[in-house]
């Protein structure tokens, strides 16, 4: 019987560096990669495009149920309005339930026959893949995360100032951590990496060393 795919779960707050780490690990290991935040962003985008309100549960659920693969490649998923609306739809338990099977399916049978999958989000280690072989919770001081996010914004040509970015980040973190449905929290068996004083290379090395101790995959 073929071995079950190796699942690497990466959770953490906004701008903790999850995306950079997840992409790099997936490329290095030859694993499939799923940024689960895109599912919530695409749901929010659909609600906004239909002229709806992200806090309208029925509209958000309709949007989540009608997502297609093309929506995940959609334009503007990183815009600030979509970012804020995504954390509102993500607090809706019915929306989360509607997006669950897709995420589980991806982990159980990664596309293109990849031997494993890296999933990044907020509840991968706690809810979506509680049996993941490797669980990483990537954190960083909020001030560091706000500085990173601001740098990203400026690099994309968008505008921003530190105080505003920090305020938005705090509001989003509070919603993601404080919600009743699958709140952001490290799984009990997650390995916590605080990247406040580390660069991306160092985070990658630590994560890879951990994966090495939990799997036989060598690259
Ligand atoms: O990771 P991100 O910033 O793209 O996520 C967008 C929003 O979706 C964020 O507010 C948290 C939410 N989210 C979630 O609740 N669960 C996930 N597994 C991934 C994202």
Q: What is the pLDDT of residue 80?
A: 86
Residue 33: strand pairing partners: 118
- The residue whose CB lies within 8 Å of the most ligand 1 atoms, and thus the one to mutate among 176, 182, 184, 186, is 176
- The residue whose CB lies within 8 Å of the most ligand 1 atoms, and thus the one to mutate among 13, 17, 37, 87, is 37
Instruction: Give residue 217's pLDDT band: very low, low, confident or very high (50, 70, 90).
Output: low
Query: Model's pTM, two decimal places?
Result: 0.94
CA separation for the pair 145, 211 (Å, rounded): 25
| Closest residue to atom 16 of ligand 1, CA basis | 122
22 in ligand 1 pocket by Cβ < 6 Å?
A: no
- Residues ≥6 apart with Cβ < 8 Å to 88: 44, 54, 55, 60, 175
| Closest residue to atom 6 of ligand 1, CA basis | 37
Using the mean position of ligand 1's atoms as its centre, give its distance from the Cα of residue 173 in Å: 10
Instruction: Give residue 128's pLDDT band: very low, low, confident or very high (50, 70, 90).
Output: very high
- The mean pLDDT of the chain is 94
**Per residue in 138-154, pLDDT tens?**
999 999 999 999 998 89
**Per residue in 5-22, pLDDT tens?**
999 999 999 999 999 999
Q: What is the pLDDT of residue 215?
A: 82
Distances (CA, A) of 82 to 47, 63, 122, 154, 216: 10, 14, 17, 18, 40
Q: Which atom of ligand 1 is nearest to 91's Cα?
A: 15
CA separation for the pair 54, 51 (Å, rounded): 10
Q: What is the pLDDT of residue 1?
A: 52
Please give the backbone phi and psi of residue 199, each rounded to the nearest 5 degrees, phi first: -95, 175
Mean pLDDT of 175-199: 94
The answer to whether residues 15 and 146 touch, using CB atoms and an 8 Å cutoff, is: yes
**Per residue in 17-37, pLDDT tens?**
999 999 999 999 999 999 999
């Amino acid at each position: 019987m073929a071995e079950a795919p190796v699942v690497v779960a990466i959770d953490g707050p906004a701008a903790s560096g999850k995306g950079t780490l997840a992409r790099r690990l997936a490329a290095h290991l030859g694993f499939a990669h799923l940024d689960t935040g895109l599912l919530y962003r695409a749901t929010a985008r659909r609600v906004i495009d239909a002229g709806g309100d992200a806090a309208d549960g029925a509209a958000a659920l309709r949007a989540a149920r009608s997502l297609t693969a093309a929506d995940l490649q959609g334009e503007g998923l990183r815009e600030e309005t979509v970012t804020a609306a995504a954390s509102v739809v993500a607090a809706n338990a019915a929306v989360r339930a509607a997006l669950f099977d897709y995420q589980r399916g991806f982990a159980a049978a990664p596309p293109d026959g990849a031997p494993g999958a890296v999933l990044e989000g907020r509840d991968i280690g706690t809810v979506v893949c509680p049996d993941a072989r490797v669980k990483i919770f990537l954190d960083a001081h909020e001030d560091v995360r706000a500085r990173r996010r601001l740098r990203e914004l400026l690099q994309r040509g968008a505008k921003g100032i530190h105080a505003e970015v920090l305020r938005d980040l705090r509001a989003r973190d509070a919603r993601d951590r404080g919600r009743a449905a699958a709140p952001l929290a490290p799984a009990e068996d997650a390995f916590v990496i605080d990247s406040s004083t580390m660069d991306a290379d160092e985070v990658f090395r630590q994560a890879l060393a951990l994966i090495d101790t939990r799997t036989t995959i060598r690259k």
